[in-house]
Structure 1
Amino acid sequence: MKKTIFIMLGLLFSVSSLFAHALWIETAATGKVGQKQTVKVFYGEYADLGRDSVSTWYSDVKEFTLWLVGPDQKKTQLAVTQGLNYFEASFIPAQNGSYTVMVSHEAKELGGTTKYHFLSSASVSVGKSAAVVSQNTNALRLHVDDVSSLKLKQPIKMTALLKDVAAGKKAVTVFSPTGWSKEFYTDENGAFEFTPLWPGRYVVEVSDMDKTPGQHHGKDYKATWKGATYSLELK
């Protein structure tokens, strides 16, 4: 009996720990035509300022695909190089406009009877261009209109979208560079705002639990958890 209880507690801890983990993209909010733009992808618990070693990433998450969509709406896969606790890629903007980098990866392994879908995106403004919503094709995503205009101690308005529709009444967590975090809820239009108080990188995450059952890699699941992140750096 005691052994069974310990096993159940271990499974609960494992699932809880996984929920706390997220995949996120780090890149500069602005770029220049003809100059290399570096992009890094991390996995871990940003609330603890943790970036996990790639060797410990959950399931096959490290086999994600990184995509780039430019002002011409062309979608291109970016080649990634593995580092100790991140993957790195780069691209060179050929023209002014908005660029979006994104990841959408369903982990091969289930967490109990739940399928985990990790999503992340970031926008790059070249020539002071506003972000284009349609560039991001992720099923769940966060959007900021103009990443180049964001400033410390001024409200930042974001919008959450689920399958191209405003994701209303969704919990959103903002993780600060100091380890501070706070939960918000989107309004009926999928919008919310927060005010950054400290310089550094912020990671914002919105999640959704879809209780539609199905099969994934030959295994039955009862629900799909989606977690989408958007990170931005303020100086």
Structure 2
Amino acid sequence: MPPQRIMALPLKQLTTSAFLLLLPLLTNAHGYWMELSGSGKPSSEVIVKIYFGEYENNLREKGDRLNGMKDFRAYYLDSSGQQQPLTLTQTETCWEARFTPAKAGRYQVVGINDTREVQDWIKYGMGVVRPMEYLRADYLAGNALDAIAPLTDIDVVARPLNGQMVLTAYAKKTPTAKTKLTVLNSQGWEKTLTTGADGTTRFTPSGPGIYIVEAEQMDKTPGQYKDKDYAAVRSKYAMTLRVE
């Protein structure tokens, strides 16, 4: 079955008609997300955990239910913007990695699974697709004011503004209009948003804590992967957002 369940910059609307079709999200369903923990100080270890379950329902799968995550790879961008690989290890409750920030700054952590076999999901209304998964979370070591930029093919950048969080959705690092985003927290709070012409939308958090921002994208450009033809690439995305 398919897996269930992302600065002011010049913005322009994506207009290439055959390029991307953004899909509605599947809510209240299983998905992947990332959580980071640490002291927030330079030279102090950060623990990266990737979970599978239902974040909004506090459901985290365990044991063999995590075996399908073995193809995830992860890395972080250090304070100088250099990509550093992370080694993921399976535990009873998640896949885990660790790193230590060398100095103060913003550290962006990314998880990707782009090696899954082509899937026949005709019965789910998606056709024959190549599935992709993208996860992202940012970690601040010390007082960091570094700007955030999109990193992956599908991404969302967040910034606070007057008590709200402004979200900008990107495809191929280009802001995208009419993109559906779902925002969740662990208390069952959920909100579905749609980006405007400049690729942005905003929400008012229900309170401090961790929120997951989900996006889904279908690129209907056909291709071939591992000797199998596909009609589209289906990308799922989950960004972990900490609200103070």
**Fold shared by both chains (TM-score > 0.5):** yes
Aligned partner of residue 55 in structure 1, secondary structure? helix
Cα displacement (A) at 1:67: 0.3
Aligned to 2:132: 117
TM superposition score normalised by structure 2: 0.78
**Matched positions, count:** 215
TM-aligned CA deviation for residue 119 of structure 1? 0.2
Partner Cα separation in structure 1 for residue 31 and residue 221 of structure 2: 22
Please name the residue that 2:86 is paired with. 78
Please report how far the alpha carbon of residue 16 of structure 1 lies from its aligned counterpart in structure 2 after TM superposition. Answer: 8.3
How far did 1:25 drift? 1.2
Give the alignment of 1:144-223 within 5 angstroms: 144-145=158-159, 154-223=163-232
Give the superposition deviation at 1:23. Answer: 2.2
Corresponding residue SS for 1:85: coil
Q: CA RMSD in A?
A: 2.6
RCO higher in 1 or 2 (8 Å CA, sep ≥ 6)?
A: 2
Q: Which runs of 5+ in 1 are unaligned?
A: 1-13
- Determine if contact 1:177/1:198 at 8 Å carries over to the other structure: no
Distance 1:23 1:130 in 2: 28
2:153 counterpart of 1:139: yes
**CA deviation profile, 1:58-93 (whole Å, cap 9, x unmatched):** 75x322111010121111101222111211112111
SS in 2 for 1:56: helix
TM-score w.r.t. the length of structure 1 is 0.80
Separation in structure 2 between the aligned mates of residue 58 and residue 88 of structure 1, nearest angstrom: 13
Structure with greater proportional helix content:
1
Aligned to 2:11: none
Amino acid at match of 1:130: L
Does structure 2 conserve the Cα–Cα contact (< 8 Å) formed by 1:43 and 1:86?
yes
